[in-house]
Amino acid sequence: MSMKSIFDAKEVRSEFEKASINPSFIPLIWKHVITHHQNPNTITTAIDWCEIPSLPSAAYSLLASKFKPLTTALHSLHRSSDGVTTKLLIKLQNGSFVEAVVMKYDTRLGKYDGKQRPGGPRSTLCVSSQVGCKMGCRFCATGSMGFKNNLSSGEIVEQLVHASRVDSIRNVVFMGMGEPLNNYAALVDAIRVMLGSPFQLSPRRITVSTVGIVHAINKLHNDLPGLNLAVSLHAPVQDIRCQIMPAARAFPLEKLMDALQQYQKISQQKILIEYIMLDGVNDGEQHAHLLGKLLETFQVIVNLIPFNPIGTLSQFTTSSEEGVSRFQKILRGVYNIRTTVRKQMGQDISGACGQLVVNLPDKKSIGNLSLLADIEDLHL
């Protein structure tokens, strides 16, 4: 039987309770593992559970027999030529690979509401929730892999542990490989670990993106209040959604919008609407007006995403800058909807939006990185 990750919180708590060990020791164990893997002097050495001080004696044998500090391994790092994006290729215990991406921003760059934005340098981690994806979106490289398997909650959290070697992570976005809400239980468990000690991320610094799994959206706020929700809408009408996102047939646009309306009523939070710009498909002025009318009763931020080519798989082309700008102006000017254009990052390492599909790049070192303006933060 394979060993479990120490970051599989439910498994650890269950075993501790069976052995009458106080679960309050678990964050101490996590902190030791994180510190060990961030320290260049210890990172290449195996963790000995006995090195963790102050645990009950029964905990040491339990940990050694059932849990591994990490069930995944950082296979390689690949850094973009502009120095702001680092893609992590992570090997799972079953031999599969997933990718995670660290993106560096500077929140002081640019203005909001006519004023200089506060803050400073920070990094956002884009994590994967599945190996492959069932959704089959035609503009997404991950969809071309098909679905392989769900990640455990520990495998999701371990992406954050590995990324912490690259930089201090402030924000986490579930926009990597897979549909997060199709791995709902592991997603919720992983985020609860990230919110607690020793990670202590704020729920407002975590964003979950979905193509629109309606029944899971209805549960999300109850299970994880304060979280940011992003919806991969990508078209203002059902027939175009079905053409480019086959899974949309199972989640009609009318039902999705009803679910979002209920979510917003309960959460009182803005929703991020992700909209990929595909030349001649969904980027016309008529599409902008349809989208504006669809969203005019919502509190949303629309993030327009220039299409990132996926090699020979591409059946689409990227909208022109003029077309994207015109689309943005209609949403802003006519419908007063806050609309941003996503900065293209990591294209040269296939780390940009829609480009995550497993390959095995050479290992790259991490150097001093320059910074871009922040485009992910919803609460400015």
* Residue numbers annotated as active site: 99, 353
Do you find a cis peptide bond into 118, omega within 30 degrees of 0? no
Q: What are phi and psi of 114, to 5 degrees?
A: 80, 0
Q: What are phi and psi of 310, to 5 degrees?
A: -125, 50
Three-state SS sequence of the chain: CCCEECCCHHHHHHHHHHCCCCHHHHHHHHHHHHHHHHCCCCCCCCCCHHHCCCCCHHHHHHHHHHEECCCCEEEEEEECCCCCEEEEEEECCCCCEEEEEEEEEECCCCEECCEECCCCEEEEEECCCEEECCCCCCCCCHHHHCEEEECCHHHHHHHHHHHCCCCCEEEEEECCCCCHHHHHHHHHHHHHHHHCCCCCCCHHHEEEEECCCHHHHHHHHHHCCCCEEEEECCCCCHHHHHHHCHHHHHCCHHHHHHHHHHHHHHHCCCEEEEEEEECCCCCCHHHHHHHHHHHCCCCEEEEEEECCCCHHHCCCCECCHHHHHHHHHHHHHHHCCEEEECCCCCHHHCCCCCCCCCCCCCCCCCCCCCCEECCCCCCC
Six-digit token string for 177: 């490989």
Six-digit token string for 265: 């009523």
Say if CB 319 and CB 277 are below 8 A apart: yes
Six-digit token string for 139: 């503009």
Chain-centroid distance of CA 11 in Å reads: 23
